[in-house]
Copies of this chain bind each other. A is one copy, B any other.
Amino acid sequence: MQTLISKVVALAGGVGGARLVHGLAQCLAPEELTIIVNIGDDFEHLGMKICPDLDTVCYTLAGLANPLTGWGRADESWTVLEELRALGCPDWFHLGDRDLATHIERTHRLRVGQPLSQVTQDFCKAWKIPFTILPVTDDSVHTWVYTEYGKLPFQEYFVHQQCQPRVTGFEFAGVAGAAPASGVIEALQTADLVLICPSNPWVSVDPILAIPGIRAAISHREGFRQIIAVSPIIGGHTVKGPAAKMYTELGIQPSALAVARHYVPLLTGFVLDTIDAAQANEIGHLGIRPLVTNTLMPTAGERRRLAEEVLQFALKLRMS
């Protein structure tokens, strides 16, 4: 599309982020889009390094993602997991055969010293993804979820315990010493639009924003750039994941407004669903320009439509 918004950086977590990024990928040229991905969910399982958000974004852009779940691979089989189970291995984390190849080769490369960003770049090349996908850092940052039962590693909370424990807080262990991966700061500093995807603010976006240097790079050219978030909360609920449940447990009414407040003072614009139109005014009072539209995007066409609207919105904000 013809636009003055020619450098877009998307901050993305898992499924919701991947969907909007998939829309952007249909509107922008390869050099116009950089995706910076959360790695706080990454963990080691059976000795393998698993990066759920990176994989979800990559699989989605490569056309390899399972269309039903949004994560994992399409046309997946489960033979290795069946045999791992026979050996007494834990099977709460679902490792499909196709997906496993990613974990095996990534683990191998990391062990011989390649940074995660380099591995990701090589995988994107192999999967014919023309856009730049960057893990926010090559260092280890581990999200811990504080719950009524003590602190849990993110995947233990998210997958094994299926988000059941009541949440009291979060910790991004290692974040203070983590450095942005090569290319991250440069992409943010030169962006016309930084788009915070409809990912979980607490555990997908906050671990990105908490890396030293990221917030400063986003705010770098204040006034010249748009910083827009898309609400992952629609009508008080999330399409997927525990963001709404987390807001409630932390004593905050889950709403688009709550998400906008979460990102103040970073934002210039905010996209919320038509079902939440009544909150637009109050978001405006935060000094953030609202865009009310349909934010559900199960299909490729709807992702493209939402991405186009967000880009037009950014252009309008810039021109105003």
Which A residues fall within an 8 A CB radius of B?
Answer: 46-48, 77, 79-84, 86-89, 97-98, 100-102, 104-105, 107-108, 111-112, 122-123, 126-127
Q: Chain B's nearest CB lies how many Å from the CB of A91? A: 11
Q: Is the CB of A126 within 8 A of B86?
A: yes
Given A105-B89, A108-B47, check contact A100 B126 (CB 8 Å).
no
Q: Report how far A136 CA is from B173 CA in the complex, Å.
A: 43
Q: Report how far A97 CA is from B77 CA in the complex, Å.
A: 10
Q: Is the CB of A101 within 8 A of B122?
A: no
Identity of the chain B residue whose Cβ is nearest the Cβ of A106 in the assembled complex: B87
Identity of the chain B residue whose Cβ is nearest the Cβ of A125 in the assembled complex: B88
Enumerate the 10 nearest inter-chain pairs by beta-carbon distance, A residue then B residue, closest first. Answer: A83-B101, A47-B108, A79-B97, A84-B101, A46-B108, A83-B98, A80-B101, A87-B126, A87-B105, A80-B97
Q: Report how far A221 CA is from B49 CA in the complex, Å.
A: 50
A-B contacts, 20 listed (Cβ < 8 Å): A47-B107, A48-B104, A48-B108, A77-B77, A77-B97, A79-B97, A80-B97, A80-B98, A80-B101, A83-B100, A84-B101, A84-B104, A86-B126, A87-B101, A87-B102, A87-B123, A88-B122, A97-B97, A100-B104, A104-B104
Q: Is the CB of B100 within 8 A of A80?
A: yes
